[in-house]
Structure 1
């Protein structure tokens, strides 16, 4: 069993690093050190940062080894330097960054070969620290993919188109009221904000069977939704005016219809794709215009995990098996959300589709601790963000890896952010 776990961890580390290499090798050194948006770090910062976190946790903490580059810890501490300021730091250049992460990886693999997965040492029980590092690097890979989307210039990333719709998916699904178990105590690589499992009583509600599509969102635009303060909260209307919002990020108004710039390619907006690159305020305004609202975080998770036949909470909408290509659009396998109805094998028992993958889904809830929360292994992953001006996103996107996505996984960001692969679906009360 221990050897199987070692092999699994080694494979996940290798698979993750291959994605990091793809994202950083796709551009030249000039692009690696350039800041493509003040919202994002230079790609070379992300590259060295994932190596530094791997060194801190696996080489030093788990392995007890001497530091590889203790002198750069402060440069790659995300809490000490805002993204907009990072290009001015004396960062490792691309060659140095690649050499550094390779050296750290060799030491981490040596630690993996020797570590004992002791149940009474929580950091290594079930390989937790290794799983945390895999998830951390995959999260930065998705961040780097967002940077690629903001990058100007000719396309450098390629991927096959997502599968077509297999069946029409429309309307709403009734989720019966009652109690369900939210969060987890059993997922070995779940992070601290997903814990502990706790029972929540959720009144009956209706939720969209699929994410809001471009065609549906275009109807909101055509109806003057961006120009009518009735649909916007006061803060949302203020942001809409200050930021000059008129459409989702990367949409281009054209006499022949709306276009979308995606990873350097300009193409017509597809009506059957989930809308992406909208902020929380835009999602809130659309929901009000449609006579609905955003689901709460508990409602979203109940729709995604609750099995009405058994009353238990599953790991994913389709069950406990890890995501396969038949279930969800994850892992940068495609460079776009899939059309609604493309993954019938990933639907929940009640018929809610595409809850996992395609687009992160804004919910109405702020980012708060679950009852009984305990920070582990460090406060800065979750605890310092609780109670701030954040809104939760659930479900992952086409750029989220399967290692960093499950029915309990929680993401969060400021309500004005839309450079992330964010969309939404609506809900409403049952009278």
Structure 2
């Protein structure tokens, strides 16, 4: 949270002692300035007055960018009329607010049951899948190992720097997320992935209930185009299908490449895990989500669909991932 110092009408500071641990290029911090601004007369009336940094939706024109934060996102205001920058996601990530959503479905597979309301704390998630260029930087730094090459994989193919990295194991995905941004990121939980795709209205696809998945929304195998990957026979650059965006603006959740998440797989959900669920404590397979450029089944692109593979699997050019993070 970022609490900004305020000044009175005569220009004097509200409090001369100020301590700041604010947003930097490495992340988001907090700041405290002087007395509790909740005592300011008028705080809570929705109008930012002279001694207030903000009030309700009135932010005095402040944005994440105007505060020097190296990102975009949703700047907020606390009940104490202090600016709250926890919604200013790091570059390349989006902010998902805390709250409940409906997880699971009874429509297709028992492994999506039981349907239940799940509460998640706020989090960040990558807007797109991790690219070849980003993963290569981790390999060059000695923190990641090279993915499998050949067999329709992107590794070693010229001109695919902006395509999703593919042919990675769960362990390689975990290692990358543990390295990037100074170790501040991680693989998303299965619940975080589903909420990022589904939002809070229980929608079937990230873009809503209709239309059914086609290449207008998803990098997939559409038979009418005669080739996998929407006629290209491969992945596309990340973010190529903006019409498939989720309610939070997350891209490429269905199609492109299957995405590893943190959880072990079980054939049904634990009905007692309703607050920040993390899945089973052990298992033999990890959950994957989203389908890929080789997938032609529309049901796979549903927000609730889930599958599982052994964590060492790289599987023919279709295994990728994205990272998540926890705001301070």
Contact 1:277 1:423 in 2 (8 A): yes
Say which SS state the counterpart of residue 225 (structure 1) adopts. coil
Contact 1:175 1:204 in 2 (8 A): yes
Mapping 1:119-138, distance limit 5 Å: none
Return the offset for 1:410.
Answer: 0.6
How has the CA–CA distance of structure 1 residues 386 and 223 changed in structure 2, closer, same or farther, with 3 Å as cutoff? closer
Return the offset for 1:195.
Answer: 2.0
Counterpart in the other structure of 2:325: 428
Contact 1:249 1:419 in 2 (8 A): no
**What CA distance in whole angstroms lies between the structure 1 residues aligned with 2:190 and 2:217?**
22
Say which SS state the counterpart of residue 362 (structure 1) adopts. strand
Structure number with the higher strand fraction is 2
Counterpart in the other structure of 2:202: 313
Return the offset for 1:335.
Answer: 2.2
Structure number with the higher helix fraction is 1
**What CA distance in whole angstroms lies between the structure 1 residues aligned with 2:281 and 2:203?**
26
**What CA distance in whole angstroms lies between the structure 2 residues aligned with 1:269 and 1:197?**
43
Alignment of 1:390 with 2:262, yes or no, is no
**What CA distance in whole angstroms lies between the structure 2 residues aligned with 1:372 and 1:175?**
23
**What CA distance in whole angstroms lies between the structure 2 residues aligned with 1:269 and 1:393?**
27
Contact 1:178 1:203 in 2 (8 A): yes
Counterpart in the other structure of 1:181: 102
Contact 2:207 2:243 in 1 (8 A): yes
Counterpart in the other structure of 2:93: 172
Counterpart in the other structure of 2:23: none
Aligned length: 216
Counterpart in the other structure of 2:294: 399
Mapping 1:26-37, distance limit 5 Å: none
Alignment of 1:196 with 2:93, yes or no, is no
Contact 2:213 2:298 in 1 (8 A): no
Deviations 1:202-233 (A, max 9, x none): 1100000000000000000111113xxxxxxx
Contact 1:392 1:410 in 2 (8 A): yes
Return the offset for 1:372.
Answer: 5.6
**What CA distance in whole angstroms lies between the structure 2 residues aligned with 1:303 and 1:422?**
19
Is there any run of 5+ residues in structure 1 with no aligned partner, and where?
Answer: 1-169, 227-245, 251-259, 374-384
Superposition RMSD in Å: 2.4
Contact 1:367 1:386 in 2 (8 A): no
Return the offset for 1:387.
Answer: 5.4
